Amino acid sequence: MRALRRKTFLLGIIFVVCSVTVLRLTDMASGVMQTFPQRTQSVREIIVPVELNMSVFQDFLVPADARKPLIPHLIHQTFETVMIPSKLESHVRTVVNMNANWTYHFWTDDSARKLVKERHPNLLPIWDKYMRNIMRADALRYVVLYEFGGAYLDLDVVAYRSFDRITYKYGCIIPPEPI
């Protein structure tokens, strides 16, 4: 059992390293991740497409022979339910609006368990034994990146630009994270 956990952990690290996208994490110091007393509307209701700021396309050069992105244009995020904390609404909006041409997947605890049950039933006993939801969320990122590819982003991520251009140059992006 311990060897399976170790292999699952190492495999997960490999998937995250190869599928994370460029972004900047904010609000960690202000305590956004500590408590969420207030829920807001459904994540489906806060996603409103907007036009991209084209100025960001001039500062990152893509190889002339780039034909397709090295990272699939899929974004994965997760929370307990579709009712996300109000403090994180604007974060989700920046990710979706800056990447309006990407496919967006929002995973809940229920949809995540269903995915694990259907695609990786051998992981389900471990999944169900996790003591906290955050442990399942951490495991989910590995499963969705393995199954679909793309980028997994925590809800506290703020996008300052589209991820498009960099995915044509790099197949693996590891962003800095504040200490």
Q: In this predicted model, what pLDDT tens digit does every residue of 91-123 receive, in sequence order?
A: 999 999 999 999 999 999 999 999 999 999 999
Domains of the chain: total: 1
Selected residue with higher pLDDT from 39 and 169: 169
Q: Is residue 81 part of a domain?
A: yes
Q: Is residue 151 part of a domain?
A: yes
Nearest-angstrom CA–CA distance, 126 and 173: 29
Q: Is residue 113 part of a domain?
A: yes
Q: Is residue 135 part of a domain?
A: yes
Q: pLDDT-based confidence at 165, cuts 50/70/90? A: confident
Q: Is residue 36 part of a domain?
A: no
Q: Is residue 58 part of a domain?
A: no
Cα distances from 111 to residues 7, 20, 124, 138, in angstroms, run 24, 21, 13, 15
Q: Is residue 31 part of a domain?
A: no
Task: Average the pLDDT over 33-43 and give the result.
Answer: 46
Neighbour-count burial of 154, counting CB atoms closer than 10 A to its CB (0-12 exposed, 13-18 middle, 19+ buried): middle
| pLDDT value at 51 more than 80 | no
| Structural domain containing residue 94 | 2-24+68-167
